[in-house]
Amino acid sequence: MSARFLWLDVRATLGERKTLLAAGLMAYAVLAVPFLVAKPPEHVMAAMGTWFGASEPFTLFLYLWTDLAMNKLVVILGLVLAGGLVTRERETGVLAVLLSKPMSPVRYYLVRALSACVVMGLLYVAGHLVAAPLVARGVPGFRAGTFFASMAVHLFAAFFCVCFSALMSVLVPKRSLAALVSLLVLFSLVGGSFAGIYNPAWREAALVNPFAHGVTVVTHMAELRPGHVLGSIAVLLGFNLALLALGAARVRHLEV
């Protein structure tokens, strides 16, 4: 039954207007980033060389695509897709009806969170598939393999945003406060994604930040190994499962 519920929920979310608006934001990134990397100043390219060991147009592109566009986008999409999980149903008065079905609150929470992750994944991967051929034309030396490897890892940072917003929605009593806490915490973490690159002395400490793992393909662009990709995905998966478990534990004690 959960599988059918998941399928119906994904389909319903894909049909909502907010998903269309979210796809619009993705399209905006596809247009804006190639414009920004078209004529970079010398000092910016020199910094790319220092930080990532390569100063090609593609280096700057992948850095901006990940940090300026995708990092910000996943925070807002995570909130939009999972920010009101369970509490929204409670406050609009439909939660009691939903839970009269043979489904526990925990299962309901987990299926909805998973569904939000599926929608996030669909939007995110579709955005990258559409972007790749367009960007390949505009950015000399475009490396599709690195681009999609980066997508694969950062996708799990996007799931982190979904799981975090879902957790806040059941942990913080007021919806507006829950949304604000999600935005402030996630944007602050995103701001520190590259802290270990800006100051190599912080490299170890910066790894407590999930987004530092999310950008691992960008930071290891020059000598990328499968271990980087798989290791970071594993770490992010751990973070996400922990958030889901915390949310599920909280939902168990939530009053309807």
Partner 1 sequence: MPSALRRYRALEARQAFGWVPLAGLLVGLLLIGLCSLLLPRLPASAINLMEQVMLIHGMGAVVLVNDYLAIYFVAFFVGAAGLMRALVEPREERSLELLLSKPLSRRAFLSARVGPVLLAVATVGLGMTVATGLSAVPYAAEEGVSVLGALGAGLVLSLLVVLLLALLVIPLLLVRDTFQGYLAAFGFWMVPMVPVAVLIYRPDVFVGNESLRALLAMPANLVWFDAAMPVTSLILLVVAIGISWLALGLGARLFERTEPR
Choices 37-45, 97-105, 207-215, 224-232; region in contact with partner 1 by CB under 8 A: 37-45
- Site membership for partner 1, residue 22 (CB under 8 A): yes
Q: Rule CB under 8 A: is residue 203 a binding residue for partner 1?
A: no
96 near partner 1, rule: CB under 8 A: no
Q: Does 122 bind partner 1 (CB under 8 A)?
A: no
Selected binder of partner 1 within 36, 98, 103, 130 (CB under 8 A): 36
Considering beta carbons, is residue 1 or 177 the nearer one to partner 1? Answer: 177
The nearest distance, CB 230 to partner 1, in angstroms, is 30
Residue closer to partner 1 by CB (options 66, 232) is 66
**CA–CA separation, 54 vs 31, rounded Å?**
24
| Number of residues near partner 1 (by CB under 8 A) | 47
CB within 8 Å of 128: residues ≥ 6 apart: 147, 148, 151
CB 106 within 8 Å of CB 9:
no
Largest CA distance in the chain: 63
Which is nearer to partner 1, 101 or 174 (by Cβ)? Answer: 174
Q: Residue 69 has what DSSP assignment? A: I
Residue 108: which of 220, 8, 230, 231 has the closest Cα? 8
If one asks whether residue 41 binds partner 1 (CB under 8 A), the answer comes out as: yes
Long-range pairs of 68-72 with CB within 8 A, sequence gap ≥ 24: 68/33, 68/36, 69/29, 69/32, 69/33, 70/29, 70/124, 70/154, 70/158, 71/157, 71/190, 71/193, 71/211, 71/214, 71/215, 72/187, 72/190
From candidates 134, 184, 230, 249, binder to partner 1 by CB under 8 A: 184
Asked if 68 is part of the footprint of partner 1 (rule: CB under 8 A), the reply reads yes
In the complex, the residues that contact partner 1 under the rule CB under 8 A are 16-18, 21-22, 25, 32, 35-41, 43-44, 47, 50, 60, 64, 68, 72, 76, 79-81, 83-84, 88, 91-93, 174-177, 179-181, 183-184, 187-188, 198-201
